[in-house]
Amino acid sequence: MRVSALLMPTLREIPAEAEVISHKLLVKAGMIRKTATGVYTYLPLGWRVIRKIMHIIREEMDSSGGQEILMPIIQAAELWQESGRWDVYGAELFRLQDRHGRNFCLGPTHEEIITDLVRREVNSYKQLPLLLYQIQCKFRDERRPRFGLMRGREFVMKDLYSFDRDEAGLKISYAKMYEAYNKIFSRCGLKFRPVEADSGAIGGSTTHEFMVLANSGEAEIVYCTECDYAANVERAENTINNNKVNDAIKPRELLYTPGVKTIEQLVQFTKRTAESMIKTLFYEADGNLICVLVRGDREVNEIKLQNTIGCLELKLAEDEIIEKTTGALPGYVGPIGIKGVKVYADEEVQFVVNGIVGANKADYHYININYGRDFTADKIVDIRLVKSGDACPKCQAEMKSARGIEVGQVFQLGTKYSKSLGATYVDEQGQEYPLVMGCYGIGVSRTMAAAIEQNYDEQGIIWPLAIAPFHVIVIPVNIKDEGLMNLANQIYFDLQKAGVEVVIDDRDERAGVKFADADLVGYPYRITVGKKTLSQQTVDLKHRATGQEEIVELGSIVKRMQELVK
Ligand code: ATP
Ligand code: MG
């Protein structure tokens, strides 16, 4: 490819709306352009990266027994009504009508379509296991589309669905996919980690997310410093640290705390630790008011809370409702004496000795409160967020936290969709059973962005070799010098012939401009053809990732590049 002919509109300025580095660099390097919020066109270089990731995915899916298909983007509402998701998927579903007023949606995921296909076409145990996948654009009207390709409203996804006769079969398919995902992200050159994840309010089944480790990641994970335990904080289990303080139980007192509302202020004011305080929060769970207690140094894990209650919608209650129920506003509310509200306390709350809570009276707190004597909960559960420093639930060693970008998720669905849609098979005895399903997604376009979040510097992108748009760029420093241009062209042709993916920057630009663009785009290697090439028959070969420069003889540059990209 000749850069003079390449549609690669690099920019000097970064668009103001771009918050994360992948978004900034993808736009700046002329790889993507926005057409609407969360909707992008992939330009030639960007699309080459996507195609490379898709190629790696296809190889690994095929070698794991997957068969590629392509399902429609437009899905009929009837199928979603059958599965029960038409009403619960909510505003994220792009809905539309045809000219006859029939309802459709743009596929955010394809469980309904594939289960419909399989219920028609598969009926015998002999056809199992069956692994079908596709790579396609998905549509989700995200609440907050942002960060460029990281959270789009239209994005490229690979989705595979497995069909087995029983749980044991599902476990095998799941293990295959788990393994394939490890291979895919390793081959993409990414630092990642599979973590245990939450399966949502309705599920209860096993699921893992594949997280690319990057500070800009929206997800927080914890991992053990000793064993292999790693989990999304939404899911991570806690161990009860029951180092109960052995202080003598003191009588409860009312304390005047004017203007002291937050835990921080309370720590300052009372000179006691946040661990000795109890945070009281009120939520509305599917419209019902509930009270939630966690220790002062803890945060509520809303996912766990939602799973505990089994509700679909959970949100913090409005101040007026809290005031009506407790007689006070947030900052002064507490569990003592409240009525008609179910109380959920985190496990640690019961071990707080002589603690502090709001007194349900403006400007007052209670001190020296104790679980059992002063208040109780309807349910004691693990509803706190794990944090760095907590003990590993598997081996008790210390856990650390990190941020991650979810690039893939594998999920044991079980019979959720096969039962609602009636997808069954008959076994050797002619007995009919529902198919046991798994689903496995990879965000292809998000993976491209995640690769940049992990690999960049001041100058631009540093593509891992396996997913770089091209392996190498040849830069003749002066295209007006005929002898030099001839040599550069010769190298370009020879590399092409040798199977190295190469571009030549044949633009009439200053060498500095070409170098800057090459660094911005992030080609793993750069060959400079300059004066020395003519006088000494050598070229400069620069490694983008390390900055290392080699002087290579003209006669060996092809061989050297072949070695490097092998
Ligand atoms: P998230 O929690 O980030 O919204 P999700 O769990 O809803 O994602 P899945 O349904 O598991 O997403 O989809 C499979 C994969 O598709 C995800 O692991 C992610 O890599 C990718 N993906 C999901 N939503 C988006 C999006 N809005 N933009 C780009 N990629 C996405
Ligand atoms: Mg997911």
pLDDT per position as a tens digit, 333-385: 999 999 899 999 999 999 999 999 999 999 999 999 999 999 999 999 999 99
Tell which residue, 303, 283, 306, 284, has the closest CA to residue 293: 283
Distance CA 48, CA 35 (A): 19
Q: Whose CA is nearest to atom 3 of ligand 1?
A: 406
pLDDT of residue 69: 98
Beta carbons of 466 and 52 less than 8 angstroms apart: yes
Model pLDDT for residues 488-542, shown as the tens digit of each residue: 999 999 999 999 999 999 999 999 999 999 999 999 999 999 999 999 999 999 9
Average pLDDT rounded to a whole number, residues 476-486:
95
Rounded to the nearest angstrom, the distance between the alpha carbon of 216 and the centre of ligand 1 is 16
User: Which H or E run contains 179?
Assistant: helix 167-187
β-strand partners of 295: 278
48 burial type by CB count under 10 A (0-12 exposed, 13-18 middle, 19+ buried): middle
Cβ of 285: how many Cβ atoms within 10 Å? 21
Q: Whose CA is nearest to atom 18 of ligand 1?
A: 408
Residue 236 pLDDT > 80, yes or no? yes
pLDDT of residue 507: 97
372 burial type by CB count under 10 A (0-12 exposed, 13-18 middle, 19+ buried): exposed
pLDDT of residue 16: 87
CA angle centred on 343, ends 340 and 344, rounded to 5°? 160
Residue 201 pLDDT > 60, yes or no? no
pLDDT of residue 202: 45
What atom in ligand 1 is closest to the CA of residue 447?
20
Cβ of 480: how many Cβ atoms within 10 Å? 8
Determine which of 6-20, 354-368, 415-429, 470-484 has the lowest per-residue pLDDT on average. Answer: 6-20
What atom in ligand 1 is closest to the CA of residue 151?
28
What atom in ligand 1 is closest to the CA of residue 152?
28
Q: Which one of 445, 446, 448 would you pick to mutate in the ligand 1 pocket, going by the greatest count of ligand atoms within 8 A of its CB?
A: 446
Q: Which structure tokens are listed for 327?
A: 């007689």
- Give 312's Cβ-side CA count (13 Å radius): 7
Residues near ligand 1 (Cβ within 6 A): 109, 140, 142, 151-152, 155, 157, 406-409, 441, 443, 445-446
Average pLDDT, the chain: 95
Distance CA 302, CA 290 (A): 13
Beta carbons of 158 and 54 less than 8 angstroms apart: yes
Report yes or no on whether pTM surpasses 0.75: yes
β-strand partners of 337: none
Q: Which structure tokens are listed for 132?
A: 């079908």
Amino acid at 57: I
Strand, helix or coil at 230? strand
User: Which H or E run contains 127?
Assistant: none
Query: Which ligand has the nearest atom to the CA of 219?
Result: 1
Residue 203 pLDDT > 90, yes or no? no
Amino acid at 521: V
Rounded to the nearest angstrom, the distance between the alpha carbon of 312 and the centre of ligand 1 is 19
β-pairing verdict for 502-504 and 472-476: parallel
pLDDT of residue 199: 81
Beta carbons of 282 and 291 less than 8 angstroms apart: yes
Distance CA 187, CA 468 (A): 12
Distance CA 321, CA 476 (A): 71
pLDDT of residue 277: 96
Residue 321 pLDDT > 80, yes or no? yes
Exposure string of 492-514, with b = 16+ CB inside 10 Å and e = fewer, is beebeeeebbbbbbbbebeeeeb
Rounded to the nearest angstrom, the distance between the alpha carbon of 21 and the centre of ligand 1 is 19
Q: Whose CA is nearest to atom 25 of ligand 1?
A: 151
Residue 17 pLDDT > 90, yes or no? no
pLDDT of residue 200: 67
Q: Which one of 198, 205, 409, 448 would you pick to mutate in the ligand 1 pocket, going by the greatest count of ligand atoms within 8 A of its CB?
A: 409
Beta carbons of 177 and 410 less than 8 angstroms apart: yes
Residue 257 pLDDT > 50, yes or no? yes
Handedness of CA 153, 154, 160, 163 (dihedral sign): positive
Average pLDDT rounded to a whole number, residues 427-449:
97
Q: Which structure tokens are listed for 298?
A: 């803890």
Quick one: DSSP state of residue 235?
T
Query: Which ligand has the nearest atom to the CA of 440?
Result: 1
pLDDT band, very low/low/confident/very high, at 117 (cuts 50, 70, 90): very high
Distance CA 4, CA 26 (A): 20
Beta carbons of 66 and 93 less than 8 angstroms apart: no
